[in-house]
Chain A
Amino acid sequence: MEKSLKRPALLAALLIALIALPTVADAAGFAALTSLATRVLIYGIAAASLNFVLGYGGMVSFGHAAFFGIGGYTVGILYQHYSLGEPLFGFIPGTNQMLITLPVAVVLSGIMAAIIGALSLRTGGVQFIMITLAFAQMLFFLFVSLKTYGGDDGLIIRRANELPWLNMRDKHTVYYVCLAIAVLFFAVLWRLVNSRFGNVIVGLRQSEKRMAAIGLPAYRYKLVAFIISGMGCGLAGALMANFLRFASPDMMHWTKSGELMIMVILGGVGTLFGPLIGAAVFIVLESVLASWTENWQLGLGLILLFVVLYTQGGVQALGARLVGRSA
């Protein structure tokens, strides 16, 4: 179904471009481009995770920022306990080792996704959208009120998590770490989407009843998909906290859920790399438009309207059609 990986030449070119990006950016005098690209990669992971349930599974979650935030706060809270030297709850030592914080962030966001998913997947349609939104907002307000961890102001992480043999204070290194993780993430996602499990998830979107009549329990499959998706967002959140060296309630605000959704729609719902493209378009637009006008969202809104009304499947589909026409 997903033919993206069957175009290895295009992918290899993209990968080489991404590997060369920091060097080229520095040489061309646009050093800021590396940071921009890092954000694109991180949001790409988050948006692709959301897309797994939204695009493939047809579950319109409006609360995925919750998992993004959980990932970020995991890194932030573990760092705070590490730097203060006080164990969390009196017995869990803090840490600044990325090899620990990332897996912990993924597991915690997975657990949270299991809880939120278990409750909200009992509903569907508009109720599902509203319940996921409500859960995310509950978490948002919880973290706003947690004064120990910065409350409204968020948590500052003085130094990014450490990885053995790498200098994580170097922007390029952080970029390459994110790139490596993104490559790994998309490889796993590709396998998942094309697996039997992925096929069932797509089938469920088309008809739950039909799946049930074949003997597959819709709820369980959807819950597993939701958990996987939450874990992906948690991973992205943990990376983002490392990149920004900051975790704040804003990471789980409902507008963040909306942004992730916009990236998915911009790029192409239900495609493997669409969300990554969507994240790139979103972030580039955000920085370009914001440099022109304070009301950059207005421009973004117009572009989103255009994409939804005229591209029939986001930037990815538009690109495919342009390529198809010239070929």
Chain B
Amino acid sequence: MLSVAKLQSAYGPSQVLFDVALEIGEGEVVTLLGRNGMGKTTTVKSIMGLLKPLSGEIRFTGREVRGATPETVARLGVGLVPEGRQTFATLTVRENLVATASNRLGRKDPWTLERVYKLFPRLRERASQAAGTLSGGEQQMLVVGRALMTNPKLLILDEATEGLAPVIRAEIWSCIEALKAEGQSILLIDKNLHVLKRLADRHYILEKGRTVWSGTSNDLTHNAELVQRYVGI
């Protein structure tokens, strides 16, 4: 579904990505691991078109999307849950979910307000509250819900559980699990390795802007030294 090869990206004169490669198949849950500053978010931004890559290849559902605008990439079916709680603060929860909802790819069983509320019952309780007044965890749920309402083929979650209370975190993880069970393709960036190992099919490790390792959860479990070296936990 998504295939990235030899991706190079830079912020102005400082190059951040040198050789990133990753592959996500239909219905797969894949993670991007690595310490802070190794280029995980930059990779996501490059895929999304929020940052114009210098070179390399990004193909999504068979189309070359390197250098495409964020709108185009999103319209092709990439749903991003960005780092930080990026709700539209003055709109209500319901408005946040409905305003940008779409089913451009004509998915048969599209996401509805009702389904999102079922996935995150807290959002139903807060439906007519301004998004800016929600707790951090609720805002994060809202952003996930907003992304789902665009019926994406691939959902990208960039640090979706960062800075959240353990209870809320568990709630978000169980939702991601539910999404996986439905066959949603997901690219995860997170630091909770033990959860990721259980949840994801495959992993990529980034080190200084290069993909240095990839393998299954099983490989990762049996490679403690690798984890120590690149992920540092």
Contact A210 B88 (CB under 8 A): yes
A212 to B49, CA, bound (A): 10
A-contacting residues, B81-129, CB 8 Å: 82, 86, 88-92, 95-96, 98-102, 104
B212 → chain A closest CB, angstroms: 28
Does A207 have its Cβ within 8 Å of any Cβ on chain B?
yes
The 8 A CB mask of A184-212 against B (1 = contact, 0 = none) is 00000000000010011011001101111
**Is B56 interfacial (CB 8 A cutoff)?**
no
- Bound: A202/B96 CA distance, A: 10
Chain B, Cβ-Cβ closest to A3: B128
Which A-chain residue is minimally distant from B100 (CB atoms)? A214
Chain B contact residue count (CB 8 A cutoff): 28
Question: Could you tell me the distance between the alpha carbons of A214 and B143 in the complex, rounded to whole angstroms?
Answer: 10
- Chain A min CB distance to B159 (Å): 15
Docked complex Cα distance between A196 and B146 (Å): 13
Q: How far is the CA of A1 from the CA of B129 in the complex (A)?
A: 9
Give chain B nearest CB distance to A321 CB in angstroms: 18
Mark contacts of A209-222 with chain B using CB atoms, 8 A cut-off: 1 yes-contact digit, 0 otherwise.
11111111100000
In the complex, chain A residues whose CB is within 8 Å of the CB of B82: 210, 213
Question: Do the beta carbons of B75 and A196 come within 8 Å of each other?
Answer: no
> Contact at A196–B99, with CB atoms within 8 Å?
yes
Given contacts A203-B100, A207-B88, A214-B150, 5 further A-B contacts (CB under 8 A): A1-B130, A210-B82, A214-B74, A214-B147, A216-B74
User: Chain A's nearest CB lies how many Å from the CB of B143?
Assistant: 9
Give the distance to chain B from A205, nearest Cβ to Cβ, in Å. 9
- Residues of B28-83 whose CB lies within 8 A of A: 48, 50, 69-71, 74-75, 79-80, 82
Q: Say which residue of A202, A206, A212 sits within 8 Å of B74 (CB atoms).
A: A212
CB distance from A7 to the nearest CB of B (A): 16
Q: How many A-B residue pairs have CB under 8 A?
A: 65
Contact A215 B99 (CB under 8 A): no
Q: Report the minimum CB–CB distance from A316 to chain B (whole Å).
A: 15
Contact B71 A217 (CB under 8 A): yes
A215's partner among B50, B74, B90, B96 (CB-CB below 8 A) is: B74
Q: Contact between B48 and A215 (Cβ–Cβ < 8 Å)?
A: no
The answer to whether A215 touches B95, judged by C-beta atoms less than 8 angstroms apart, is: no
Beta-carbon contact of A215 and B102 below 8 Å? yes
A residues engaging B (CB < 8 A)? 1, 196, 199-200, 202-203, 206-207, 209-217
Known contacts A1-B95, A209-B70; A216/B100 CB under 8 A: yes
Give Cα A1–Cα B94 distance, bound, in whole angstroms.
Answer: 10
Q: Is the CB of B88 within 8 A of A203?
A: yes
Q: Are A212 and B91 in contact (CB under 8 A)?
A: no
Query: Are B150 and A199 in contact (CB-based, < 8 A)?
Result: no
Which 10 residue pairs spanning A and B have beta carbons closest together? A215-B74, A199-B99, A212-B70, A203-B88, A214-B100, A199-B95, A215-B75, A213-B70, A217-B71, A213-B80
Taking CB as reference atom, which chain A residue is nearest B89? A206
Tell me which of A1, A199, A200, A207 contacts B86 (CB under 8 A).
A207
When the two chains form their complex, are residues A202 and B71 in contact, meaning their CB atoms are under 8 A apart?
no
* Distance (whole angstroms) from the CB of B154 to the closest CB of chain A: 13
**A225 CB, min distance to chain B CBs, angstroms:** 14
- The complex places the Cα of A203 from the Cα of B86 at a distance, in Å, of 11
The answer for the CA separation of A214 and B87 in the assembled complex, in Å, is 12
Q: How far is the CA of A196 from the CA of B92 in the complex (A)?
A: 12
Q: Which residues of B contact A1 (CB under 8 A)?
A: 90-92, 95, 130
Q: Which of A207, A209, A215 has the most CB of B within 10 A?
A: A215
Chain B residue contacts of A214, Cβ below 8 A: 74, 79-80, 100, 146-147, 150
Q: Is the CB of A215 within 8 A of B88?
A: no
Residues of chain A within 8 A of B98, CB atoms compared: 196, 199
A selection of 14 A-B contacts at a CB cut-off of 8 Å is: A1-B90, A1-B91, A199-B98, A202-B91, A203-B91, A207-B88, A210-B82, A211-B100, A212-B69, A213-B80, A214-B147, A215-B75, A215-B102, A215-B150
Among residues of B, the one whose C-beta sits closest to the C-beta of A195 is B99
Contact between B91 and A199, CB atoms less than 8 A apart: yes
A218 → chain B closest CB, angstroms: 8
A46: min CB distance to chain B, Å: 24
Contacting residues, chain B, for A215 (C-beta < 8 A): 70-71, 74-75, 100, 102, 104, 150
User: In the docked arrangement, what's the CA distance between A31 and B69, Å?
Assistant: 60
**Residue ID in chain A nearest B88 by CB atoms:** A203
Given contacts A1-B130, A215-B150, A203 and B99 within 8 Å (CB-CB)? yes
Contact A206 B102 (CB under 8 A): no
A213/B90 in contact, CB under 8 A: no
